[in-house]
Chain A
Amino acid sequence: MLELVQRPVVDDVFDEFFADPTTPRANYARLAVTLAAVETDTLVNGVRAINAALLRRGVTFTVYAESSGTERIFPFDPIPRIFSHREWRRMAAGVEQRVRALNAFLHDVYHDGRILREGRIPRELVHSSDLFVREMIGVRVPNDVYIHVSGIDLIHDDQGTPRVLEDNVRTPSGISYVLENRDVLKRTFPRLFDGYRIEPVDDYPLRLLRTLQEAAPHGAREPNVVVLTPGVYNSAYYEHAVLARSMGVPLAEGRDLLVVDNRVFLKTTAGLERVDVIYRRIDDDFIDPLYFRPDSALGIVGFMNAYRAGNVGLANAIGTGIADDKALYRFVPAMIRFYLGEEPLLENVETLDCSDPVTRRHVLAHLEQLVVKRTNGSGGYGMLIGPASTAAEREDFARRIEATPRTFIAQPVIQLSSHPTLVDGQLSPRRIDLRPFALYGKRVDVPPAALTRVALRKGSLVVNSSQGGGSKDTWVLAAEDDDA
């Protein structure tokens, strides 16, 4: 029998499962009963089988820091995370609001720059960002939508208050794990679902396809969509393939696409086929060597011309990175007020801008208590977790901050909430976050398909797949099941 999960004896951490040391929260009451009756071996063996199957099916990612380029699975944890319908709706509304504001910001910085002229955001911050793509200035995109797919990373702080940790509005990945996790959990541990009615995740590809079709230039009837991947060596190649297959659209590499007379075509065995929308999973820099990195062999020569002319839709638009530059993150609440005239529904995390000399001195003096991140980074690469760092690491970061202050921000260490997780045959509290995905076609849609990442190492606060994290199935209860 499993040791029935116990609330961790840590005061300053919010526990998702337990309301108090002996009582599970309402969402989890039924699961607690089920878990109490499950044999430990069943769970452990099931997980082992799942992880082996994931590896076999190629549900892997590559860790870039490892020189060998090892293919790894994103370890699966069988204990699901459960949201009440009400809680989910509240968060989804916050995500929706944030994405609308970020999108409005992108349209603004690439056109009038109203928010800069009115001094709400320092122009210097935008112009000094290497994520600001000048080639997009003045370029109209269909429906003025830039951020068709985004992943807004949320955490619960020590009070259980949801906060946005970071916005990912370039090419966020992870949705394939959401689909896989639900699938394997259902097949391996159907009993866990006893007594629950939860929102499905498997219509995500359909919703994504609809979003992409809405990104087509005006007048394209039954738009042809393709998924553009950098290829098999990309860490998220599996996801690119799964999404293309489940949407029923071609998976293409740059060399499969050709620009003729300012229009994009897919090379097929039957000749050239017009492409209306590209769901690209390659970075801005690589998309068109004629305008961006000339050495890119992954992109489509002349694409920018076709795009600028309005002959093809692109999801996400080029240049969205300026909206998730971490130096601009602290201005997102201001964007929400400025563009939408609304109060932010989701809290930010306090953020210190290292380019300000006074703030920088404070940061350098308190590195041990802070988290330092690169402003243009993602995936948990190149960050410093103060309390877990060595003196040598802190010195190294201090040097780098002094050298290029614009490229670093610092945040207080946020105590991510914890959730019971199967570790070494026992349920132990581990820190988690949440990445809901927002789709923006004609309006913003936040499907109940979110990725919960879990830091598998004890006490670790880093949940990124590339940094040794795992993932959990994430349940959103159906409306009428809120009191399950």
Chain B
Amino acid sequence: MEYTIDHETAYRYPQPVSESYTVVHLQPRTNLRQYCTRYNLSVEPGARVFSYLDRFGNDVQHFAVMPEHAQLRIIARSHVVTLPTSGGEIPHDVDAARLHADPLVSELADYCASTPYVALGPEVTRLADAVPAAADDLATYFLAAGSFVHDAFTYRSGVTDVRTTVADVIDAGAGVCQDFAHVLIALARTRGIPARYASGYVFRGAGATLGAEASHAWAEAYLPPYGWVGFDPTNDRLVDDGFVLVAVGRDYGDVSPTRGLYRGVDPGSLRVTVAVDAAAAEQ
């Protein structure tokens, strides 16, 4: 599939602010499953944009607007080609021995432990025990855990915010895609499966423009020989060519789409709009 993505973030401040420093994770990744052919980041008021590759392999941009400004607009436009997942095989038969025989696994320690948003604990263990799958096939367990999260939790915005941790989500029984992803990551890690947070977009039909939740999130588990397997607990489906991956990290904290600091008094307001359009028909 081929997509064009317009991701616009607008901050408005009742009182002008200055020296605002912003870091963004908005550039779609290029890997074996997708190719980002074009990416353009524009900032108003104008600022020099710098880019670096972070430790997860994400391309990160940052910029600073020094003079006073009452509004900050960040517009990321990209064009991405995604490939169908090979054969559509559903990952299965990955036992712990196979996982630990993998040479990469020992280096994935950061994806196996508690992280700020994904604190492992008794409530996570209890939840994992409720997943209807034998834990000896880690692949089947992971996919079952994803469906379990989808079924056991209610998708509802306003219950959680960007500071909500896994324990809070389990307690509330509800949340948004970010929370669903965190819970699935916790369920994987608590069973020894390396798991990470993936942010990006999901295509929901031609012309669909969504609000602030359009920036999507799901979980990826490391399951040799399949490599990183993505599952979207919000939509109860394996990640396929309908998804565009932007960034991966230990949890949301590593890859928040935009974050920053400025000099000013008021908190300001934020509006995000994302349009993901399939371009395949135009070919």
Contacts and interface: CB of A to CB of B under 8 A. Distances in A.
Given A259-B64, A301-B21, A309-B52, A290 B109 contact: no
Contacts of A290: 21, 23, 260-261
Contacts of B126: none
A302 interface: yes
B125 interface: no
Contacts of A134: 55, 110
B68 interface: no
B123 interface: no
A302 B64 contact: yes
A137 B55 contact: yes
A127 B64 contact: no
B52 A289 contact: no
Contacts of B55: 134-135, 137-138
Interface in A276-326: 289-290, 294, 301-302, 305, 308-309
A483 interface: no
B50 A124 contact: no
Interface string B17-52: 001010100000000000000000000000010101
Contact of B261 (A123, A261, A301, A305): A301
B99 to A, nearest CB: 16
A422 B127 CA distance: 65
A123 B106 contact: yes
B210 interface: no
Interface residues of B, number: 18
B19 A127 contact: no
Nearest to B50: A262
Interface in B88-120: 106-107, 109-110, 113
A117 B106 contact: yes
Contacts of A124: 109
Nearest to A110: B55
A261 B66 CA distance: 10
A268 interface: no
Contacts of A123: 106-107, 109
A102 B106 CA distance: 23
A128 B113 contact: yes
Contacts of B48: 261
A260 interface: yes
B62 interface: yes
B260 A127 contact: no
Contacts of A309: 50, 52
Given A138-B55, A290-B261, 12 more contacts: A113-B107, A128-B113, A258-B19, A259-B21, A261-B64, A290-B21, A294-B261, A301-B19, A302-B21, A302-B62, A308-B52, A309-B52
20 contacts: A117-B106, A117-B107, A123-B106, A124-B109, A127-B109, A134-B55, A134-B110, A258-B19, A259-B21, A259-B64, A260-B64, A262-B50, A290-B21, A290-B260, A301-B261, A302-B62, A302-B64, A305-B52, A308-B52, A309-B52
